[in-house]
Amino acid sequence: MTESAARVVTFHYTVREAGGEEVQSSRGGEPMAVLLGAGNLIPGVDAALAGMSVGEARTVEIPPEQGYGRRDEALVQRVPRKHFDKVPNLAPGMQLMANGAQGPQVVTVVKVGMSVVDVDLNHPLAGKTLEFDLEVTDSREATAEEIAHGHAHGPGGHAHD
């Protein structure tokens, strides 16, 4: 294995807010397959996986700068309530999917008024230090097609129609 060769790594992960509750896990399902170094993962996880061998398990702490970035208060915005006409039981804390400039993104409802709604467009994990339990189950050289597409194919990877 040469260090410059692009690799597809298959791995299980569990992510927690540092010292807090589990946010998400691949355990109980199929592991995820990802082309490393292609911006498919937050930088801290990409770098950790690049340094791991098959069968290795590791817990890494990832600061916001290597994770989902810092919170940006300018991303808390006030929008007309009519945009949410189709959402039943609109309430603070609710997370909705919206189509943003860079594809689907999570929008968190902060406050619901009579005619306006305050929403937070920051990633829900922005500004948080995260703990990832990582276990690498497979690692292989990426195919030319995967490198061209910028993502992994096959089980756990990107499925094309």
- Interface residues toward Zn ion, by CB under 5 A: 149, 158
DSSP character string of 86-141: T-TT--TT-EEEEEETTEEEEEEEEEE-SSEEEEE-S-TTTT--EEEEEEEEEEEE
Buried b (16+ CB within 10 A) or exposed e, 92-110: eeeeeeeeeeeeeeebbbe
Closest-CB residue for Zn ion? 149
> Could you tell me the smallest distance in angstroms from the CB atom of residue 158 to Zn ion?
5
Buried b (16+ CB within 10 A) or exposed e, 113-150: eeeebebbbbbebbebbbbbbbbbbebbebeeebbebe
